[in-house]
């Protein structure tokens, strides 16, 4: 072990012992079990007899054999090895790690929301359909768009649906075109999506201010271009101030404007994509609308569109007949389904609960508070770290490691050192247009106290780098797991336990 | 805070937005509500949905009891409110649990490698097909008509823009299993994957060995889909498949009107670099202790961008954790007993009805109602607070007298007797 962390400067955490725990397979012992089933109320059948001997399996080798107490201790011990929003600020830029209100969880677990089967008759599903209709209405209001599909399961899935809609629309006008333009600051999902939807990807260089360069764009848009995928505010946290011109350049050439709504939390209540020329966009319910990230999902990726694209939305769609909701499958122009059933309904319930708790004014206030928090952090940090682009910040701010790099520490080192201070790192080395990026998004749910602790930590690290750069480069020092050899893990991957 | 920033109001912070793009109205969304009002809203609406009443619907979404332990664990904020575990040093909880998940999925399916989850089975199917395309360098796909109709629809959507022709092959009119003659006729040297589901949409267990032999003989991969994971407690897993894609909704994930669920993709070792989505691998930390981290990220979109194996980013980690806890609670003995209960109940009910197919089935089967009116039967059941089976005409015009019925450990004998009374 390297030398212990210095107590001064670290205000948020101190070390405490944590429990060791082996894998379930290693704590198993034959015959142990934690389940209960009622007695079978029908005659038990012999699997070999009814399935055929070749179709029936023996016990699953090495499957866990543990008691109920073993299970709760196992997962509780594992849980203590995680950082979480519930433990503190989680400043991952573009990921929007805001507090996840627990009312959302309670609402989604109401029997009448958790147990409906997607194929039960519409007449017995009116409440679920009403939830979806109300969420569609709210999302239209928030985005300024005309119609919404709630089917996509996550942001990237929404992108895929959105690009398919563009394709179907252009096809209906005679030519689906060949290319999708993507700014070099975009999320990796954008080019991957365009490729999956059968388009060639052309990168568009950002201008000196980190925004879409309208001159470059105007030259790039020709009859082969189907759309531009833009994130606004972009991944620098900067509002694309020429967005209306961008839309016009595309529309003049018959191309469409797709907006990646990953950063919609910076716009709710103050600006609507539908008003600045966006034709289709997705929303990440697990970002803007507070549904929990859960260690990597589930998400929700509704897609909102303008009228011209509505006929192509995937089936089924909600339709009111009299005072009852029905699922309408009779949509001849619809692009195919992107997912079975109707979407991640449980996530939709949570998002609607969030919208209801805030109301229209509360949603706007959340946006302004998010911008406030990001600008406060920026102000406190910009004497110590180099701001990447000196443009007004919206909900996040991006620094580069230029100053620290000269002293031998990069953004990755600083991130790992933050862990010792009790914080999850910011987004590291993204967006790609910033060399050595530190992308910081505090969200509106952080208090000034927590923001100050975080700023103090980053400032303290910048001082440490001046004093003892090697110490910072060896971080983290205080975690129960020291630096993990990810390169070694990829060389000969072990992706499952074996006896 | 405003003073530190040097502005006088919150509005000043966004004053730089061009006036033309500002939204100056109030959002037409009612004022914020209290917790009580919100709960009241969802409880009231929930009452208008059929929730926990008796139901014989399956067809890809199954009602299984959810052990209390599951929500106890997934409600822990450390799991619920953490992000994708990119920072391994402070995410060992999630990473370890995913490693256990991957292991158990391999044990269940008989595969070597499983990823950290997909959105659901319907989206895992096209991802599996695209994997097969990459692995074989071929471009077309054959899919059994007995694969879940909505999975096939999603496959069609993805395939259309991949230059991946999809052709269906039929099921045997008597057994309800794959029609191997039809498959043999359609398979070519350009077939990347043969896709079958087992148990299939009709609940019938397929002859995976024979499908594998036929596919492999022509140099194609066999992709096996499943939607009822509990079957794997007692049904021989598709060990001869090259890729397995499926749905774990049955493992303590509530039906929730169709989602969120947790899909999986698992495969033989040699296809590991073609698998989409996140993978957790074993590693060592600097002090030589066992640790886990995300691995082989060079397959993924955040590194490879348009050359990635898939655009998938967010997956279903928390839902996969539900399934992991479920598998731990039931374990080796419990999953087998659970599966036996399901098997026994479905066979109890099927014995009282006319079956459409002869193939071996797990917990779902197709009843043939002959000249009787399915809709009328289901209305009669509804009057008795029972949701009947799924009329198949919607998806299979040729099976318009068929009703797909599902029984699980939650299905009571008295309700089965009622169904038999109405339908027989």
Query: Which B residues in the span 84-103 are in contact with A, Cβ-Cβ below 8 Å?
Result: 84-85, 87-94, 96-100, 102-103
Q: Which domain holds residue B270?
A: 69-324
**What's the pLDDT score for residue B212?**
98
pLDDT at B309: 85
User: Is B230 or A1 the better-scoring residue by pLDDT?
Assistant: B230
Task: Print the SS3 string covering chain A.
Answer: CCCCCCCCCCCCCCCCCCCCCCCHHHHCCCCCCCCCCCCCCCCCCCHHHHHCHHHECCCCCCCCCCCHHHHHHHHHHHHCCECCHHHCCCCECCCCCCCCCHHHHHHHCCHHHHCCCCCCCHHHEHHHHHHHHHHHHHHHHHHCCCEEECCCCCHHHHHHHHHHHHHHHHHHCCCCCCEEEEECCCCCHHHHHHHHCCCEEEEECECCCCCECHHHHHHHCCCCEEEEEEECCCCCCCCCCCHHHHHHHHHHCCCEEEEEECCHHHCCCCECHHHCCCCEEEECCCCCCCCCCCCCCCCCCCEEECHHHHHHCCCCEEEEECCEEEEECCCCCCCCCCCCCCCCHHHHHHHHHHHHHHHHHHHHHHHHHHHHHHHHHHHHHCCCCEECCCCCCCCCEEEECHHHHCCCCCHHHHHHHHHHCCCCCCEECCCCCCCCEEEECCCCCCCHHHHHHHHHHHHHHHHHHHHCHHHHHCCCCCCCCCCECHHHHHHCCCCCCCC
Separation in Å, CA of A118 to nearest CA in chain B: 4
Residue with tokens 């360098």: B137
Answer yes or no: is B196 within a domain: yes
- Position B307 scores a pLDDT of 86
A positions 206-225 inside 8 Å of B (CB): none
Contact of A371 with chain B, judged by CB distance below 8 Å, is answered with yes
pLDDT score recorded for residue A3? 42
Model confidence at A484: pLDDT above 50: yes
Q: Is A100 on the interface with B (CB under 8 A)?
A: yes
Asked if B2 reaches chain A (Cβ–Cβ under 8 Å), the answer is yes
- Domain CATH for B141: 3.40.640.10
The pLDDT value given to residue A4: 43
Nearest CA in chain A to B308: A192
Query: Least CB-CB distance to A156: which of B306, B313, B335?
Result: B313
Residues 189-208 of A with CB under 8 A from B: 189, 191-198, 201
pLDDT (mean) for A327-351: 97
Residue with tokens 């089935």: B361
Provide the pLDDT for residue B130: 96
Per-residue model confidence as pLDDT tens digits over A286-325: 999 999 999 999 999 999 999 999 999 999 999 999 999 9
Nearest to B82 among A41, A293, A364 (CB): A293
d(CA B154, CA B157): 5
Contact assignment for A79 to B235 by CB distance below 8 Å: no
CB distance from A337 to chain B under 8 Å? yes
CATH tag, A104-357: 3.40.640.10
- Rounded to a whole number of angstroms, the distance from the CA of A385 to the nearest CA of chain B is 16
Higher pLDDT, A276 or B312: A276
Provide the percentage of residues in chain A whose pLDDT is more than 90.
98
> What per-residue confidence (pLDDT) applies to A6?
52
Q: Which residues of A touch B358 (CB under 8 A)?
A: none
Residue B36 domain flag: no
CB B410 within 8 A of CB B344: no
Integer Cα distance of A410 and A400 in angstroms: 9
Measure CB to CB from residue A100 to each of B81, B259, B305 and give the nearest one: B81
Q: How many domains does chain B have?
A: 1
Quote the pLDDT of residue A286: 96
Chain B residues closer than 8 Å to A184 by CB: none
Cis omega (within 30 of 0) for bond into B199: yes
Which residue shows structure tokens 């406030």? A372
Q: Is the pLDDT of residue A5 over 50?
A: no
pLDDT given at position A2: 40
Q: Do B83 and A95 touch (CB under 8 A)?
A: yes
Mean pLDDT to the nearest integer, A103-120: 98
Is B323 at the interface with chain A, CB within 8 A? no
- The CA distance from B246 to B251, in Å, is 12
Residue A353 near chain B (CB below 8 Å): yes
Closest partner CB to B33 (pick from A124, A141, A357): A357
Q: Per the CB < 8 Å rule, is B151 touching A118?
A: no
Would you state the structure tokens that stand for residue B295, as one six-digit string?
């691995």
Query: pLDDT value at position B337?
Result: 98
Residue-range domain boundaries for chain A: 24-80, 104-357
Q: What is the pLDDT of residues A56-104, one digit of tens each?
A: 999 999 999 999 999 999 999 999 999 999 999 999 999 999 999 999 9
Whether B120 is covered by a domain: the verdict is yes
Which residue, among A154, A340, A362, A368, would best test binding to B if mutated, counting the most B CBs under 10 Å from its CB? Answer: A340
pLDDT of residue B312: 86
pLDDT of chain B, 424 residues: tens digit per residue: 999 999 999 999 999 999 999 999 999 999 999 999 999 999 999 999 998 899 999 999 999 999 999 999 999 999 999 999 999 999 999 999 999 999 999 999 999 999 999 999 999 999 999 999 999 999 999 999 999 999 999 999 999 888 899 999 999 999 999 999 999 999 999 999 999 999 999 999 999 999 999 999 999 999 999 999 999 999 999 999 999 999 999 999 999 999 999 999 999 999 999 999 999 999 999 999 999 999 998 888 888 888 888 888 888 999 999 999 999 999 999 999 999 999 999 999 999 999 999 999 999 999 999 999 999 999 999 999 999 999 999 999 999 999 999 999 999 999 999 999 999 8
Domain-located, residue B9: no
User: The whole model's pTM is what?
Assistant: 0.97
Q: Is A333 on the interface with B (CB under 8 A)?
A: no
What's the complex ipTM? 0.97
- Which residues on B lie below 8 Å from A496 (Cβ)? 99, 102-103, 106, 112-114
User: Is residue B13 within 8 angstroms of chain A, CB to CB?
Assistant: yes
Q: B318 in contact with A at a CB cutoff of 8 Å? A: yes
């Amino acid at each position: 072990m390297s030398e212990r962390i210095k107590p001064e400067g670290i205000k948020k955490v101190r070390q405490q012992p944590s429990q060791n725990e082996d894998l379930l397979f290693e704590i198993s012992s034959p015959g142990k079990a934690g389940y209960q089933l009622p007695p079978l109320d029908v005659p038990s059948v012999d699997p070999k007899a009814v399935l055929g001997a070749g179709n029936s399996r023996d016990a699953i080798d090495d499957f866990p054999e543990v008691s109920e107490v073993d299970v709760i201790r196992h997962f509780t011990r594992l849980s203590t090895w995680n950082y979480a929003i519930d433990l503190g600020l989680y400043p991952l830029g573009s990921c929007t790690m805001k507090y996840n209100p627990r009312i959302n969880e309670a609402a989604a677990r109401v029997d009448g929301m958790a147990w409906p089967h997607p194929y039960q008759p519409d007449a017995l599903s009116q409440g679920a359909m009403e939830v979806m209709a109300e969420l569609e209405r709210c999302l239209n209001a928030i985005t300024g768009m005309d119609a919404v599909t709630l089917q996509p399961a996550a942001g990237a899935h929404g992108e895929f649906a959105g690009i398919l809609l563009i394709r179907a629309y252009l096809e209906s006008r005679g030519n689906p075109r060949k290319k999708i333009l993507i700014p070099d600051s975009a999320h990796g999902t954008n080019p991957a999506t365009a490729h999956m939807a059968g388009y060639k990807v052309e990168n568009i260089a950002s201008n000196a201010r980190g925004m879409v360069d309208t001159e470059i764009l105007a030259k790039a848009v020709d009859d082969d271009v189907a759309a531009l995928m833009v994130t606004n505010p972009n991944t620098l946290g900067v509002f694309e101030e020429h967005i209306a011109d961008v839309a016009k350049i595309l529309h003049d050439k018959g191309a469409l404007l797709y907006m990646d709504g990953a950063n919609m939390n910076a716009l709710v209540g103050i600006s609507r994509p539908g008003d600045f020329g966006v034709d289709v966009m997705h929303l990440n319910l697990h970002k803007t609308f507070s549904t929990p990230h859960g260690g990597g999902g589930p998400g929700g990726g509704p897609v909102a569109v303008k009228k011209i694209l509505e006929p192509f939305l995937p089936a089924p769609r909600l339709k009111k007949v009299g005072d009852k909701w029905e699922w309408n499958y009779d949509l001849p122009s619809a692009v195919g389904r992107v997912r079975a059933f109707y979407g991640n309904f449980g996530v939709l319930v949570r998002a609607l609960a969030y919208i209801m708790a805030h109301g229209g004014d509360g949603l706007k206030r959340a946006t302004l508070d998010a911008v406030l928090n990001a600008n406060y952090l920026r102000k406190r940090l910009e004497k110590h770290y180099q701001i990447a682009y000196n443009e007004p910040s919206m909900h996040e701010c991006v620094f580069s490691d230029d100053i620290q790099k000269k002293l031998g520490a990069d953004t990755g080192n600083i991130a790992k050192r933050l862990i010792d201070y009790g914080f999850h790192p910011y987004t590291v080395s993204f967006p790609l247009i910033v060399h050595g990026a530190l992308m910081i998004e505090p969200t509106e749910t952080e208090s000034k106290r927590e923001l100050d602790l975080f700023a103090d930590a980053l400032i303290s690290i910048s001082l440490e780098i001046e004093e003892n750069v090697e110490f910072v480069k060896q971080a983290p020092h205080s975690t129960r797991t020291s630096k993990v050899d990810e390169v070694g893990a990829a060389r000969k991957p072990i992706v499952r336990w074996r006896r | 805070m405003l003073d530190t920033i040097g502005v006088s109001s919150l509005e000043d912070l966004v004053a730089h937005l061009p006036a033309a793009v500002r939204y100056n109205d109030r959002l037409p969304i009612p004022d914020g509500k209290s917790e009580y009002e919100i709960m009241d809203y969802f409880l009231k609406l929930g009452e208008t949905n059929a929730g926990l009443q008796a139901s014989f619907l399956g067809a890809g979404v199954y009602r299984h009891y959810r052990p209390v332990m599951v929500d106890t664990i997934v409600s822990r904020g450390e799991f619920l409110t953490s992000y994708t575990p990119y920072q391994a040093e402070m995410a060992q909880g999630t990473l370890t649990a995913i490693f256990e998940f991957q292991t158990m999925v391999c044990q269940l399916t008989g595969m070597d490698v499983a990823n950290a989850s997909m959105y659901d089975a319907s989206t895992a199917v096209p991802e599996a097909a695209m994997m097969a395309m990459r692995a074989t360098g071929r471009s077309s796909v054959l899919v059994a008509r007995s694969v879940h109709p909505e999975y096939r629809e999603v496959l069609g959507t993805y395939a259309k823009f991949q230059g991946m022709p999809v052709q269906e092959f039929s099921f045997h009119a008597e057994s309800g299993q794959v029609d191997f003659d039809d498959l043999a006729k359609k398979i070519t040297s350009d077939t990347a994957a043969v896709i079958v589901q087992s148990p299939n949409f009709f609940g019938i267990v397929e002859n995976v060995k024979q499908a594998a032999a036929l596919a492999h003989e022509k140099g194609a991969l066999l992709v096996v889909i499943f939607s009822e994971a509990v079957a794997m407690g007692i049904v021989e897993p598709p060990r001869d498949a090259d890729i397995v894609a499926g749905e774990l909704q049955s493992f303590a994930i509530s039906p929730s009107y169709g989602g969120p669920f947790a899909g999986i993709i698992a495969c033989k070792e040699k296809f590991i670099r073609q698998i989409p989505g996140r993978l957790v691998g074993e590693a060592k930390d600097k002090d030589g202790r066992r640790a886990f981290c995300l691995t082989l990220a060079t397959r993924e979109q955040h590194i490879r961008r348009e050359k990635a194996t898939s655009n998938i980013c967010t997956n279903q980690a928390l839902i996969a954790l539900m399934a992991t806890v479920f598998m731990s609670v039931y374990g080796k003995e419990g999953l087998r007993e659970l599966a036996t209960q399901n098997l026994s109940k479905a066979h109890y009910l099927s014995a009282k009805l006319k079956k459409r197919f002869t193939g071996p089935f797990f917990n779902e089967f197709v009843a043939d109602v002959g000249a009787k009116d399915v809709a009328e039967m289901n209305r009669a059941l509804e009057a008795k607070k029972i949701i009947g089976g799924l009329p198949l005409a919607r998806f299979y015009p040729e099976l318009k007298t068929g009703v797909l019925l599902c029984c699980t450990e939650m299905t009571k004998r008295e309700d089965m007797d009622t169904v038999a009374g109405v339908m027989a």
